[in-house]
Amino acid sequence: MRITNNMINERTLFNIQQSLYRIARLHDKLSSGKEVQYPSDDAVIATRASNISSRLRELEQFKRNVDHIHNFIQSYDTTLQELSELYHRVRELMVRGANGTNTVDERNAIAAELRALKEHLIEVANTRVGDEFIFGGARSELKPVDEDGNILTPIEANVRRRANALGYSITYGLTVYDVFVLENGKSVFSTIDDAITALHQGDERKLSEISLKEISVLEKSVMEHFATIGSTARMVEMVSSRLEDLKLFNTEYLSKEQDADLTKVLTSLSMQQSVLEAALKSAAMAIQKTLVDFVGG
């Protein structure tokens, strides 16, 4: 086979261009820190990295869901503790008012404190996290209780909050019907109003047989829901810990699949630069000079 000068020139230039291409690829890896940037670089690794990235985004969404749940649970925990203390104080006042030895002034003083506690309970029932009322159920944008103690949350909105994370369905919400309303539909605010009326009338029997029993039932209900919130909090902590482990594992996996070995890249880059320099020197000797080179000289 006859080797012409033109063939030598083309082959030499092709090899130089290939060497420059490899150097450019190594520069891309060095600047981006990634072994694979495009599917054409390595379809298998690119697909795997894309799947892991999608999984990480999914885990991030789960983490936001869990953080949202955690914020509400903390609010429920604090609110139920306060509610338990308030119900305990209401019960103490009813017991004191029902003993039959109080003067009119003493009964009026107890009634005044009960009225103040009712106002405080209304504020507790209307507790918000952000723009949402935590006891609003499915109508979290609606204030659960008005200024007079009337329940505003519709009965069809008596639905607890629910969220999904890692296949777990977490029910974590409470509504105004859970801790402020009796099974017969009577609210704690009506119970306090009845107790205040009984105090003004001196009706110790009504206080002891009706109002006191009703507030005791509500107090017990708060403690039961407090225990439920505690168990939900432990489950949320478990899911949150699991999410952190999965996120760490997938991040490390993605790094191993996608990140470039910078030491290896620098070594390859140095070698390719040496190859290019050698190729240029070889080309200078292999490519014959033309008349133009002499004229230019």
Q: Where are the domains of the chain?
A: 53-254
Q: What is the dihedral of CA 74, 78, 84, 88, to 10 degrees?
A: 170
CA pair distance 57, 40, nearest whole angstrom: 24
Report the 10 Å Cβ neighbour count for 154: 11
Q: What percent of the chain has pLDDT over 90?
A: 29
pLDDT digits (tens, 9 = 90+) for 88-141: 999 999 999 888 788 889 999 999 999 999 999 999 999 998 889 999 988 989
Say how many residues make up the chain.
297
pLDDT digits (tens, 9 = 90+) for 146-200: 999 999 999 998 988 888 777 777 888 899 999 999 988 899 999 999 999 989 8
Average pLDDT of 59-81?
A: 89
Which superfamily, per CATH, for 53-254?
f41 fragment of flagellin, N-terminal domain (1.20.1330.10)
